[in-house]
Chain A
Amino acid sequence: MDFGPHLILAILEGAVGASVLALTALGLSLVFGVMRVVNVAHGEFFMLGAVVAWFVASTLAGHPAVGFLAALVIAPLVAGVIAMVVDRIVLKQVEYDPEATIVGTIGVLYILQQSALMVYGPEARPVEPPFSHRIALPWVDWGENGFGFYFPWGLSTTSYKLFVIVAAIAILLTFWLVMSRTRIGLIMRATQLDRETALAFGIPVQRVYSMVFGFGAALAALAAVLIVPIQQAHYLMGHDPLLLSFIVVIIGGLGSVRGTVVAALLIGMSDGIISVFLSPTLSKIIATLLVALVLVFRPQGLYGKKMA
């Protein structure tokens, strides 16, 4: 493939990856920012979203869009409710102690994964996209008659992939509006800034924690519903998003929304482009190297605040 079309294709693939990654990592970042706990089971909530999407889409007959739209609502709800239960029966019991929550959420990871294996089975199953048209992209080239358009092999995307990018941007904007313009957002930010003072001002911190944990899981599930028509649902699919989310959150600065989005773009795009041009393994190596460099030279992340 020529360099130009190849690059465009790489950027398109990278953008889809980056959008989904941004949503997933944002959930992880939010939980850490507000609750100061590391949720190792985050990837499993992603998987849960995809699996629930499959169940919803396969029970609802009719046009695939019906099942997909229902899944967009139901899957994040289910993941959110399960996360809130986990918050109550696991995290609260260990009093949000940072080390204990890591161990606790590792346990939750295995419980969710193995439950999915038992209920859903070991197969990968597809969810039909609500719509998907192949869009061939033209490319200009110097031919016999001067510059001319032509449609190179493979330079194409699907309308659904473009929809994923647009949907992710819309969700990110909504998230930003909720955080900065609503009362709930204010309460969350207050809890993030200073838990004790928030408590003193009558903010029900325990309930905020449950809500944030559920909200974080719901974001991961939402990202999964968007990607599942492209990738299929599988009980082990939570591993990669977890790893990449951690990379993104560390590079962006734990708890920083802006940093998370910027880092997700950086990692998602570079992952797409490097894996198209060179090899997917190399792109993971480079992402991990980037984390190491950030940790050495800017431990608080790109946008993180220095801890006192």
Chain B
Amino acid sequence: MTKLLKTSRRTLLKSAGAGALMASSPLLGRFASAQSSEPIKIGFQQHSTGIGAAYGRWYGRTTDAAVKMINEAGGINGRPVEIIAEDDGTDPKRGAEVVEKFANQHNCDVAFGTLFSHVVIGSAPAAGEQKLPYFVVSEGHHVASGGLNRYTMQPGITDVKSQVQAMAPYVAENLGKKVTMIFPDFAFGHDHRDFFTAAIEAQGGEVLEHIAVPPAETSFTKYFPKIPRDTEVLYHVMVGPAVLTFVKELGEFFGPSSPAIFGFIDSLEAVDLASPGLEFLEGTYFWEGNPRYAQEDQTSYDKNFRAAVGVDENGASVSDASDVSTYAHMFGCWETLHIIKAGMESADYQGPADRQKLIEAVEAMTDMAESDAHPQGPKMFNGKTHQVFGVQYISKVENGRLVKVHTTSIEDTMYPDEVDYTTQSF
């Protein structure tokens, strides 16, 4: 039996009504000017579990806030942005699988958001093979060192080499010249070891001892006796689930008589500075990618950024004061998404066929002014090395708060190019 398709007055009215409803819906109306109103899909490689989980949670919140803002302002090229988040377990092998999944299963336009350096190093070859633009938010020097490929870029966060190079003069002048370093034993920590050692030697200082700690370690007292007695400055940077234990045991080890302490805030990301046992940090110094506590000279951009992500002036969640953010890193997701937007708009990006145009458009970027899209500060992008450079902050713990005492210039963080990715073929 066949059924004749007949347009009756009733069905016509029904579909007209549905059409009117769709046209009047605010979302579709806003993106109506695009040639295609298919969303732009951004694969978000998220550390939801594993040693990077605390970062993953806040990278997720920042990403959601940035996408909400971008979509409310009309999306990218008139198309809405959709985030497809996949957990990589902070594991390099799974990271590569996730990137392949973004390219082949989800048909993402780009991939983004990886933090931990070993995951970036493990995933970047997959992104290159799949010819999927891969925007990492990692701090590792592996992008600018030339170790990765033309599809991998780091435009939203500075790398360890430039960070430590800018810290060394301050440490040598104000804290001391004989340094002992404690760092996690993987790519990110090795960047600290290699580049800070070189940078402090350039300042006439020296590193007495390098102490490497596995990132999954849970008990640290056993590593501390290796700190030489004539150490003037203890330089610490730690990641992983047990950072609070690390800092606590450091305090227990030294007691009342410690050397000067300079840390990367990584050792305390997502940890409340008021946790019991951390009182000894009073008067010590930290590198901060972005000051966790709202400072006296807070910009309107930082204010807007905090409000959008839901972070209070102490750097904790507005809904739960004990849920402390990874404030020194997560701005990188926000800024990277705005760069993806700017890049896609200048390349007039329409779909995966335009991926090369997108890479070339980002490579052509240079100065990025401090703005709502770049709340951490002004930046300078180097298209040849795929790495961005920007100001760094040093804060001192005063009355249990991190107070900014020094801001570096962008020039302090620059170093000669080690690679020119633009000469590589796609």
- Interface, chain A (partner B; CB < 8 A): 1, 5-6, 9-10, 13, 17, 117, 121-124, 126, 128, 132, 134, 136, 153-154, 156, 158, 230-232, 234, 236-237, 240, 272, 275-276, 280-281
A1 touches B222 (CB 8 A): no
B221 touches A232 (CB 8 A): no
Closest beta carbon of chain B to A260's beta carbon, Å: 22
Residue B10 CB within 8 A of the other chain: no
Contact pattern, B 217-238, Cβ under 8 Å of A = 1, otherwise 0: 1110110111101000000000
Closest beta carbon of chain B to A155's beta carbon, Å: 9
A121 to chain B: closest residue by CB? B53
Cβ-defined partner of A13 (8 Å) among B49, B221, B229: B221
Instruction: Evaluate whether A134 and B255 lie within 8 angstroms (CB atoms) in the complex, with A1-B225, A231-B219, A276-B222 already known.
Output: yes
- Of the listed stretches B106-114, B130-138, B241-249, B405-413, chain A binds B241-249
B219 to chain A: closest residue by CB? A231
Q: Which residues of A contact B244 (CB under 8 A)?
A: 124, 126, 232
Residue B48 CB within 8 A of the other chain: yes
* Ranked 5 nearest A-B pairs via Cβ: A122-B53, A124-B241, A1-B225, A276-B222, A122-B49
A124 touches B254 (CB 8 A): no
B53 touches A10 (CB 8 A): no
Complex Cα–Cα for A212 and B242 (A):
33
Complex Cα–Cα for A123 and B408 (A):
33
Instruction: Evaluate whether A231 and B242 lie within 8 angstroms (CB atoms) in the complex, with A128-B276, A280-B217, A280-B222 already known.
Output: yes
Residue B50 CB within 8 A of the other chain: yes
Closest beta carbon of chain A to B346's beta carbon, Å: 38
Contact pattern, B 255-278, Cβ under 8 Å of A = 1, otherwise 0: 101000000000000100001110
Closest beta carbon of chain A to B300's beta carbon, Å: 32
How many CB-defined contacts (below 8 Å) exist between A and B? Answer: 77
B275 touches A154 (CB 8 A): no
Q: Which residues of B contact A154 (CB under 8 A)?
A: 224-225, 227, 253-254
Size category of the binding interface on chain B: 20 to 34
Scan residues 187-245 of chain B and give those whose CB is less than 8 A from a CB of chain A. Answer: 214, 217-219, 221-222, 224-227, 229, 241-242, 244-245
B54 touches A123 (CB 8 A): yes
Complex Cα–Cα for A132 and B255 (A):
13
Q: A122-B49, A154-B224 are in contact. List 5 more A-B contacts (CB 8 A).
A: A1-B226, A13-B222, A153-B253, A234-B241, A276-B225
B245 touches A10 (CB 8 A): no
Instruction: Evaluate whether A156 and B49 lie within 8 angstroms (CB atoms) in the complex, with A123-B54, A230-B219 already known.
Output: no
B222 touches A272 (CB 8 A): yes
Complex Cα–Cα for A222 and B245 (A):
20
Q: Which residues of A contact B255 (CB under 8 A)?
A: 134, 136, 156
A153 touches B275 (CB 8 A): no
Residue B252 CB within 8 A of the other chain: yes
Q: Give the secondary structure class of A's interface.
A: mixed
A126 touches B245 (CB 8 A): yes
Scan residues 29-65 of chain B and give those whose CB is less than 8 A from a CB of chain A. Answer: 48-50, 53-54, 56-57
Scan residues 348-399 of chain B and give those whose CB is less than 8 A from a CB of chain A. Answer: none
Closest beta carbon of chain A to B131's beta carbon, Å: 32
B251 to chain A: closest residue by CB? A134
* A13, A154, A156, A240: residue with the most chain B Cβ atoms closer than 10 Å: A154
Instruction: Evaluate whether A126 and B225 lie within 8 angstroms (CB atoms) in the complex, with A230-B219, A231-B218 already known.
Output: no
Cβ-defined partner of B53 (8 Å) among A6, A123, A272, A275: A123
B225 touches A122 (CB 8 A): no
Complex Cα–Cα for A17 and B220 (A):
12
Instruction: Evaluate whether A124 and B276 lie within 8 angstroms (CB atoms) in the complex, with A9-B221, A158-B252, A276-B225 already known.
Output: no
Closest beta carbon of chain B to A299's beta carbon, Å: 32
Q: Which residues of A contact B277 (CB under 8 A)?
A: 132
* B57, B218, B224, B276: residue with the most chain A Cβ atoms closer than 10 Å: B218
Complex Cα–Cα for A1 and B224 (A):
9
B218 to chain A: closest residue by CB? A231
Complex Cα–Cα for A5 and B226 (A):
12
Complex Cα–Cα for A117 and B50 (A):
10
Complex Cα–Cα for A17 and B54 (A):
27
Scan residues 268-317 of chain B and give those whose CB is less than 8 A from a CB of chain A. Answer: 270, 275-277
Q: Which residues of A contact B225 (CB under 8 A)?
A: 1, 5-6, 9-10, 154, 276
Scan residues 57-90 of chain B and give those whose CB is less than 8 A from a CB of chain A. Answer: 57
A232 touches B242 (CB 8 A): yes
Complex Cα–Cα for A77 and B256 (A):
40
A122 touches B219 (CB 8 A): no
Closest beta carbon of chain A to B89's beta carbon, Å: 9
Instruction: Evaluate whether A153 and B245 lie within 8 angstroms (CB atoms) in the complex, with A123-B53, A128-B276, A230-B219 already known.
Output: no
Closest beta carbon of chain B to A161's beta carbon, Å: 9
B252 touches A280 (CB 8 A): no
Closest beta carbon of chain A to B248's beta carbon, Å: 8
B252 touches A153 (CB 8 A): no
A273 to chain B: closest residue by CB? B222
* A6, A117, A122: residue with the most chain B Cβ atoms closer than 10 Å: A122
B49 touches A134 (CB 8 A): no
B229 touches A123 (CB 8 A): no
Q: Which residues of B contact A132 (CB under 8 A)?
A: 277
Q: Which residues of B contact A117 (CB under 8 A)?
A: 49
